[in-house]
Amino acid sequence: METVSLHLFDTATRSLREFTPLRPGAASIYVCGATVQGMPHIGHVRSGLNYDVMRRWLSCGGPQRQGLDVTLVRNVTDIDDKILTKAAEAGRPWWEWAATHERAFDSAYAALGCLPPSIGPRATGHVPQMVELMQRLIDSGHAYPGSDDGTGDVYFAVRSWDGYGALSGQRLAEMQQGEGWNPTGKRDACDFTLWKAAKPGEPSWPTPWGAGRPGWHLECSAMATTYLGPEFDIHGGGLDLVFPHHENEQAQSRAAGDGFARYWTHNAWVTLGGDKMSKSLGNTLSIDVLLQRVRGAELRYYLVAPHYRSMIEYSDAALSEAVAAYRRIESFLHRVRERVGAPAADGALCADFTASLDDDLGTPGAVAAIHGVVREGNSALDAGDHPAASGAAASVRAMTDVLGLDPLGEQWRVGSGVEDGATKALFQLIDDLIAERAEARGRRDFAAADAVRARLLAAGVLVEDTRDGATWTLKDS
């Protein structure tokens, strides 16, 4: 087996482990994706962004690293109690409600620069695989139908699997599945539902144990192994999924004889007022609303710069700071492009950047390394050392590309077709004026430089001179 230098914090062992892929030259990742019950907010998409960075880093090649061929599966839960309830309240078919919000999630991921997953399977498309998994579990004594007449639920017998609780570190006596108690079908309050018996007016699929629909935990086990095999490298998702969802996935999969995930990784939440961002609490910030205030790259920077295992407490001030920080990087690259020429995109990754990402995807250190090179590049540019400035810019482009943030890359550069026409025009005009002001300052014509700054201010653009060069913000951002 091949070893790469990345170390990841494994939830199952509660330790930092060296990542050794199952298959040489390849890596396999399963990420629990969206339950498409409503519009996406930043709490939803943080997980997708974090695993997008993981995927980019694992696949990063070149002279310094051996890139892996990464397969990333990010599922869609398109059948669920909440989907059925909300669709009924809206008077719309459940499948249409789910499809509408699936498209909204896809748009949000794309707007924030996520690479498309290798495949995005839907739960409703994998019922045969779920039936096969339940049959294996029943045959091995780890599951049972809730009734003998072919009309009941199917349950996983938790006490039949000695390893239950190992992932979350909980004791069986303290666990609550959150499903309620059904004395006529469930044999033990600890057991969890694999298959839900059909109810009037709800969608259902036929099985040997009666018509119904899948349980949430069963869906992911079936989809993960369908595309990644009975054993794969990394299973990821939000911290709130450790129990019961991931605990139950691991139990049913290993009880059926599959090795399943070799590493478990979990990202922390986005909070607002100290609470996890969730629709039930009403404390959500939708992607569409935020993208009316900041650009996609700026929102991505805000969400990926903190460590994936640290909480993000949302605030307007923190978002504004992230916007300003990203624009300092962007401003440097634009200065180099205007004075020296467009920098290459394949520069060297600095040692601090590489070490930070190899240490459990330490994006804070990686971002700090980028800003360090930006400062060096600005100093070289101001000193007239164009080769050094150009080299620094190429390095910045390479490093920001790993994070999905290259300001001159196809996704984010002005004129790429990603932004609307008004935004393209605005940024081009501001960039031209910033360059004109820098040129005036360079020849020590401070009156002309101040005049340009005054023109920008009158248009609502605030210019700030920093040690990384000039950066700007809009008054209302």
User: What's the mean pLDDT when you consider all of the chain?
Assistant: 91
Residues 340 and 200 placed together within one structural domain of the fold: no
**pTM, 2 dp:** 0.87
Q: Is residue 308 part of a domain?
A: no
Q: Which domain holds residue 262?
A: 7-276
Residues 201 and 332 placed together within one structural domain of the fold: no
Q: Is residue 150 part of a domain?
A: yes
Q: Is residue 432 part of a domain?
A: yes
Q: Is residue 68 part of a domain?
A: yes
Residues 468 and 353 placed together within one structural domain of the fold: yes
Residues 267 and 370 placed together within one structural domain of the fold: no
Q: Is residue 300 part of a domain?
A: no
Q: Is residue 297 part of a domain?
A: no
The CATH number for 111's domain is 3.40.50.620
Residues 268 and 322 placed together within one structural domain of the fold: no
Residues 113 and 18 placed together within one structural domain of the fold: yes
Residues 182 and 254 placed together within one structural domain of the fold: yes
Calculate the CA dihedral of residues 311, 28, 232, 361 and round it to 10 degrees. -30
Cα(399)–Cα(326) distance, integer angstroms: 13
Residues 61 and 128 placed together within one structural domain of the fold: yes
Give the number of domains in the chain: 2
Name the amino acid, one letter, at 64: Q
Q: Is residue 287 part of a domain?
A: no
Q: pLDDT (tens digit, 0 to 9) for every residue of the chain, 477 residues total? A: 344 589 999 999 999 999 999 999 999 999 999 999 999 999 999 999 999 999 999 999 865 577 999 999 999 999 999 999 999 999 999 999 999 999 999 999 999 999 999 999 999 999 999 999 999 999 999 999 998 777 789 999 999 999 999 999 988 877 778 776 565 688 998 999 999 999 999 999 999 999 999 999 999 999 999 999 999 999 999 999 999 999 999 999 999 999 999 999 999 999 988 777 776 656 578 999 999 999 999 999 999 999 999 999 999 999 999 999 999 999 999 999 989 999 999 999 999 999 999 999 999 999 999 999 999 999 999 999 999 999 999 999 999 999 999 999 999 985 444 445 556 567 678 878 887 898 888 899 999 989 989 998 888 888 878 665 676 766 654
- Output phi, psi for 227, to 5 deg: -100, -25
Q: Is residue 260 part of a domain?
A: yes
Residues 57 and 158 placed together within one structural domain of the fold: yes
Angle 363-382/386-402 helices, nearest 10 degrees?
160
